[in-house]
Amino acid sequence: MHYVTSGQGPVVILIHGLFGDLDNLKALGKELEPNFTVVRVDVLNHGNSPKVSSMDYSSLAASMAELIEEVVPPGEHSAILIGHSMGGKIAMATALCNPEKVGKLIVADIAPVAYQSRHDKVFAALESMPLTEIKDRRQALAHMQTCGIDDGTAQFLLKSLTRTENGFTWKMNLVGLKQSYSDIISWPDFNKSYQGPCLFIRGGDSDYVTAEYRQAIIKQFPMVKAKTIEGTGHWLHAQKANIFNRIVNDFLHK
């Protein structure tokens, strides 16, 4: 996987969500740099990472375990994983499959459960973007709005739009993501639990982590602590960045 490294100290790996890239958690990374070596990754099929045909969580966990071995200095054996949404699932899968490689785990607004499809409109908007016809990002934004995508989501998605000699292209591998979407929203039965320190942070207005998922979380992550950031939805790390970053910092320094 493609990644960038900054800071110094114990290794923290930041893992973004679906349709994102390594810049999504950049603000958190800057907050952590004085005390941690921060590794921001492009998940497979995103950003500058390789294109793959399968994104099941066992495979993604194996890739993350390899990355941990690569970035953790000799003599150390584990990294701290922080993931948002799909990135949170990757972090959880890695902790369950390779607990000795994960010192602490922070999961932002996602649960270890299968979800119903909720990105059909987004895929339709991305796939229908006239990449060779649009002249600038203003026209790209107008297309997203025409497809019924709200401004905040559209601006987030357009971060993956990049200019080429023939117009624009998506940095993310849309074909691979659509092929893998059923795996991305699912959750395997690992039949394991992670006994290390774990923090779940949810948005107060989000429906991604609800009371019905409580037992699934506790069963797989029995040492879990939980925080809710009121007045935020699924993009809690961006909507109230200062509060989110403080909660993360407090947990890591305990």
Q: Which residues does the annotation mark as catalytic?
A: 85, 234
Does residue 82 contact residue 64 with C-beta atoms inside 8 Å? no
Of the candidates 28, 80, 61, the residue with the CA atom closest to the CA atom of residue 252? 80
- On whether the CB atoms of residues 88 and 18 are closer than 8 A, the answer is no
Which residue's structure tokens are 């039965």? 189
- C-alpha to C-alpha distance for 129 and 180, rounded to whole angstroms: 20
> 241 phi and psi, to 5 degrees?
-60, -40
Q: What amino acid is encoded at 163 in this protein?
A: R
CB neighbourhood size of 172 (10 A)? 24
DSSP string covering 28-97, please?
HHHHHTTTSEEEEEPPTTSTTSPP-S---HHHHHHHHHHHHHHHSPTT---EEEEEETHHHHHHHHHHHH
* Helix, strand and coil in the chain, % to nearest 5: 40, 20, 40
Dist CA 229 CA 239 (whole Å) = 10
